[in-house]
Amino acid sequence: MRKLLFASAGVAALVSAGCATTTQEVREAAPSAPATQAPAAPSAPAEAAPVDNPLLARWTGPYGGVPPFDKVRIEHFKPALEAAMEENRRAIAAIANDPAAPTFENTIAALEDAGRTLDDVETLYGIWGSSMNGPEFQAIQREMAPRLAAFSDEITQNEKLFQRIEAVYQSPDKAKLTPEQQRLTWLRYTNFVRSGAKLDAGAKKRLVDINQRLASLFTGFSQNVLADEEGYAVVLESEADLAGLPDSVRAGAAAAAEARGLKGKWAITNTRSSMEPFLTYSARRELREKVWRNYVNRGDNGDARDNNQIISEVLQLRAERAKLLGYATHAHWRLENTMAKTPERAMQLMEAVWTPAVARAREEVADMQAIANKEGAKLKIEPWDYRYYAEKVRKAKYDLDQNEVKPYLQLEKLREGMFWVAGELFGFSFTPVDGVPVYHPDVRVWEVKDKASGKHVGLWYFDPYARQGKRSGAWMNAYRNQERYHGEVSTIVSNNSNFVKGAPGEAVLISWSDAETLFHEFGHALHGLNSNVTYPTLSGTAVARDYVEFPSQLLEHWLSTPEVLNTYALHYQTGKPIPPALVAKIEKASNFNQGFGTVEYLSSALVDMKLHLAGSQKIDPDAFERDTLGALGMPKEIVMRHRTPQFSHVFAGDGYSAGYYSYLWSDTLTADAFEAFTEGKGAYDRTVAERLRKNVFSVGNTVDPAEAYRSFRGKDAGIDALMRKRGFPVPGAAKKTPAK
Ligand SMILES: [Zn+2]
């Protein structure tokens, strides 16, 4: 039952150092939190799985077997999932009913083997869900998702199984196990307890009811947000309405209008990717306000799709569930096994960053107001003006035009740059592989080897282009985790993104923030590729949510190293490297608009945490949001990145509930970790890289993350490096000024 690392649907990026960092969702195959789907009605009898169903066969071919993408047909999924669940059910029963006394080997380790077929089938099912989706597959998802969720509940509520896990966990013999075995035992035990395994029958029943109701509410929440995204658009009637828009935005708006049967007009749809460029470039203030209002009011229009009622009920059910499970609040339950461990520690970090971020945002507004005044615009900066005037400030202050940078950022050259970085930091080499099956002709595969020994490390699949049926954003996925429980098994990982494919032979040019995202996802891949553990459950990226973005955010730092830029950021026509003057401008502007980005993100994270610390009181979400932001001193020129009625991270599932702080937490580590390199011999310091590999990238979840970090850095992270990275004043720095 391994964990997969996915970008979550509809999750918008956190602006960090002027770039978009794609968020990720760790999906647990055996959720410690309830799954987002309602437990199923009694399952239909399993259809006989055809013996030749390729999804059920062991992966064959080179490299210890590869996914049989060439043989998969959509009609294989349902019977394969049913047969694999049945196989898993038998394996669980065999463990639970074992007449031998429970031991680590016959219980905890045995669970690693139970459900390997289901893991493989679910891996392919997940790939089709994210990358090859369509109406036919969605019908299977609607049917199978609740049944898979119910199957997970069936395992965590298996009392005989839990008694055996508990016996191993409580046994004095546990001390004789290896540290990794002890951690696996702890993880199994704690996940079962956290899912209610210790509750009495009545409480268990109530838990199932709560989870079922929550699942319906989550579904309703997402459907309402989606309906408000699809249901509103601002239609532009004439050229005059397009004032200020670059050609690419005009073209997108024209296509959106045509798709709505309004050929010859332009439509600004109600999504972030439409809203953001419009607010950045449109010179028509009243249109900016209209687009902004539609966007921030998603799920909050007082109509049939209003989410406030749903949120209120979700919060009450979560509070009740936390109480049932023995926790003060939902936040305390969610954070228990994270690196932060308690909501108080997460709050402390957020509050420490909040005040300087607000102060910086006020300076940013002052800069904008000055430009508006100078231009003679008689206005006071409002939320729909922020991006527009920020762009003007950026050009005035830093003389940086994104269109100047793009010709140097060729996708394939940057990919070579990433490979080179992985070679320098971790000693990996990448060789293209032909003849391995792929699910789409756009997908390419590389073999990863250890340069020094030539030893096979794993496979890296790359699926870079947007297409119908593929979710938006960028993500990493592990098709197979590294392990050596029954002998060496190498990992198979993939990176996925949504670049627009060019004409054959033409270079694909990407933006600076897209390039950062490319390195970010590759950071997740390297986290998987470096894994060196025994048990698959603890492998690679299967770590705490507030720790998992640390390796990926860290890798973003290598994009801007001169070694990468001089060799790999080459002009697509002249082949010349990016001029140092342009690099200097990018660097100089790297902290630009951090007040806005941090306040926008942090206000959402603070409201998320406070909503889940509020306990079982009945909450009116609009009033709670208003009062909380008022008490925080939220600048009125900025709105939360995700207002409560559209905060899908938090209300479309339990995934990021009381967990949106995780990006800041990880970034605290990232900033501090990169300083380990700059304090040493620089970004390519081999000694620091080796410490990083040994303590962070290779250990998976075999070590407590705080300990792992300390072993790497020799100290805890603290927030000074984070403040430096974002260009905020470092607390206490003034006091350290040497006395005369
Ligand atoms: Zn990530």
Residue 26 has pLDDT above 70, yes or no: no
Q: How far is the CA of 171 from the centre of ligand 1 (A)?
A: 38
Q: What is the Cα gyration radius of the chain? A: 26
Residue 422 to residue 418: CA distance in whole angstroms: 6
Mean pLDDT of 500-514: 83
Mean pLDDT of 486-512: 89
Q: How far is the CA of 104 from the centre of ligand 1 (A)?
A: 33
Q: How far is the CA of 497 from the centre of ligand 1 (A)?
A: 12
Cβ atoms within 10 A of the Cβ of 386, count?
Answer: 25
Decide: residue 125, CB within 10 A, 0-12 exposed, 13-18 middle, 19+ buried.
buried
Residue 343 has pLDDT above 50, yes or no: yes
Beta strands at 456-465 and 266-269: parallel, antiparallel or unpaired: unpaired
Give residue 559's pLDDT. 96
Please tell me what DSSP assigns to residue 557.
Answer: G
Q: How far is the CA of 23 from the centre of ligand 1 (A)?
A: 5
Give residue 154's pLDDT. 86
Beta strands at 233-236 and 475-480: parallel, antiparallel or unpaired: unpaired
The tokens 């009609």 sit on which residue? 75
Give residue 3's pLDDT. 34
Give residue 271's pLDDT. 84
Mean pLDDT for the chain? 89
Question: What's the pLDDT band for 222 if we cut at 50, 70, 90?
Answer: confident
Centroid of chain to Cα 96: 35
Closest CA to 655 of 131, 354, 215, 157: 215
Mean pLDDT of 364-375: 96
Question: What's the pLDDT band for 493 if we cut at 50, 70, 90?
Answer: very high
**Residue 336, SS3 per DSSP:** coil
Can you give 10-78 as a three-state secondary structure string?
CCCCEEECCEEECCCEEECCCCCCCCCCCCCCCCCCCCCCCCCCHHHCCCCCCCCCCCCHHHCCHHHHH
Output 448-455 pairs: Cβ under 8 A, ≥24 positions apart: 448/422, 448/529, 451/423, 451/427, 452/427
Lowest mean pLDDT among 140-149, 242-251, 260-269, 576-585: 140-149
- Tokens at 624, concatenated: 């709670």
CB 23 within 8 A of CB 471: no
Residue 220 has pLDDT above 90, yes or no: no
Q: How far is the CA of 367 from the centre of ligand 1 (A)?
A: 32
Give residue 606's pLDDT. 98
Q: How far is the CA of 520 from the centre of ligand 1 (A)?
A: 6
Question: What's the pLDDT band for 472 if we cut at 50, 70, 90?
Answer: low
CB 3 within 8 A of CB 26: yes
Residue 525 to residue 461: CA distance in whole angstroms: 10
Residue 594 to residue 361: CA distance in whole angstroms: 8
Question: What's the pLDDT band for 20 if we cut at 50, 70, 90?
Answer: very low
Closest CA to 15 of 728, 669, 558, 726: 726
Question: What's the pLDDT band for 43 if we cut at 50, 70, 90?
Answer: very low
**Of the spans 469-478, 499-508, 560-569, which averages the highest pLDDT?**
560-569
Counting every residue, how long is the chain? 740
679-732 pLDDT per residue, tens: 999 999 999 999 999 999 999 999 999 999 999 999 999 899 999 999 999 987
CB 2 within 8 A of CB 29: yes
Closest CA to 491 of 529, 453, 543, 461: 529
- How many CA atoms, within 13 angstroms, populate the side-chain half-sphere of residue 270? 19
Is 447 marked active-site?
Answer: no
Q: How far is the CA of 517 from the centre of ligand 1 (A)?
A: 8
Contacts of 684 (CB under 8 A, 6+ apart): 424, 425, 561, 563, 677
Amino acid at 649: H
Residue 49 has pLDDT above 60, yes or no: no
Closest CA to 154 of 70, 88, 105: 88
25: left (phi over 0), alpha (psi -120 to 50) or beta: beta
Give residue 406's pLDDT. 85
Residue 504 has pLDDT above 90, yes or no: no
Distances (CA, A) of 532 to 63, 423, 489: 17, 17, 10
Give residue 246's pLDDT. 84
Give residue 34's pLDDT. 29
Q: How far is the CA of 158 from the centre of ligand 1 (A)?
A: 34
237-256 pLDDT per residue, tens: 999 999 999 887 898 899 88
CB 52 within 8 A of CB 547: no
Give residue 190's pLDDT. 96
Closest CA to 491 of 462, 528, 522, 526: 528
Residue 1 has pLDDT above 60, yes or no: no
- Tokens at 228, concatenated: 């408000």
- Tokens at 308, concatenated: 């406030």
Cβ atoms within 10 A of the Cβ of 167, count?
Answer: 14
Give residue 734's pLDDT. 52
Residue 12 to residue 25: CA distance in whole angstroms: 12
Question: What's the pLDDT band for 649 if we cut at 50, 70, 90?
Answer: confident
Query: Which among 82, 521, 556, 625 is annotated as catalytic?
Result: 521
Residue 21 to residue 552: CA distance in whole angstroms: 9
Centroid of chain to Cα 653: 14
Helix (H) or strand (E) holding 477: strand 475-480
Contacts of 44 (CB under 8 A, 6+ apart): none
CB 645 within 8 A of CB 621: yes
Question: What's the pLDDT band for 272 if we cut at 50, 70, 90?
Answer: confident
Residue that wins the pLDDT comparison between 313 and 140: 313
Mean pLDDT of 570-576: 96
DSSP string, 343-395: HHHHHHHHHHHHHHHHHHHHHHHHHHHHHHHHTT------GGGHHHHHHHHHH
Mean pLDDT of 272-295: 93
Lowest mean pLDDT among 171-180, 495-504, 714-723: 495-504
Residue 379 has pLDDT above 80, yes or no: yes
Give residue 46's pLDDT. 42
Residue 329 to residue 527: CA distance in whole angstroms: 33
Residue 19 has pLDDT above 60, yes or no: no
Give residue 23's pLDDT. 30
Q: How far is the CA of 358 from the centre of ligand 1 (A)?
A: 26
Residue 638 to residue 635: CA distance in whole angstroms: 6
Question: What's the pLDDT band for 129 if we cut at 50, 70, 90?
Answer: confident
403-459 pLDDT per residue, tens: 788 899 999 999 999 999 999 999 999 999 999 999 999 999 999 999 999 999 999
Contacts of 282 (CB under 8 A, 6+ apart): 243, 244, 245, 288, 291, 388
Provide φ and ψ at 382, rounded to 5°.
-115, 170
In 399-511, where does DSSP find H-type helix?
402-405, 411-426
Provide φ and ψ at 578, rounded to 5°.
-55, 130
Lowest mean pLDDT among 171-175, 178-182, 247-251, 712-716: 247-251
In this prediction the pTM is 0.86
Give the end-to-end CA distance of the chain in Å, rounded to a whole number: 61
**Percentage of the chain lying above the pLDDT 70 cut:** 92
Give residue 5's pLDDT. 33
Residue that wins the pLDDT comparison between 673 and 17: 673
Q: How far is the CA of 286 from the centre of ligand 1 (A)?
A: 36
Residue 2 has pLDDT above 50, yes or no: no
513-562 pLDDT per residue, tens: 889 989 999 999 999 999 999 999 999 999 999 999 999 999 999 999 99
Give residue 499's pLDDT. 83
Q: How far is the CA of 14 from the centre of ligand 1 (A)?
A: 10
Q: How far is the CA of 524 from the centre of ligand 1 (A)?
A: 7
Q: How far is the CA of 5 from the centre of ligand 1 (A)?
A: 9
Output 497-504 pairs: Cβ under 8 A, ≥24 positions apart: 497/463, 497/464, 497/465, 497/473, 497/521, 498/465, 498/466, 498/470, 498/472, 498/473, 498/474, 499/411, 499/464, 499/465, 499/466, 500/465, 500/466, 501/442, 501/464, 501/465, 501/466, 501/467
Taking the alpha carbons of 701, 705, 709, 710 in that order, is the dihedral positive or negative?
negative
Q: How far is the CA of 211 from the centre of ligand 1 (A)?
A: 28
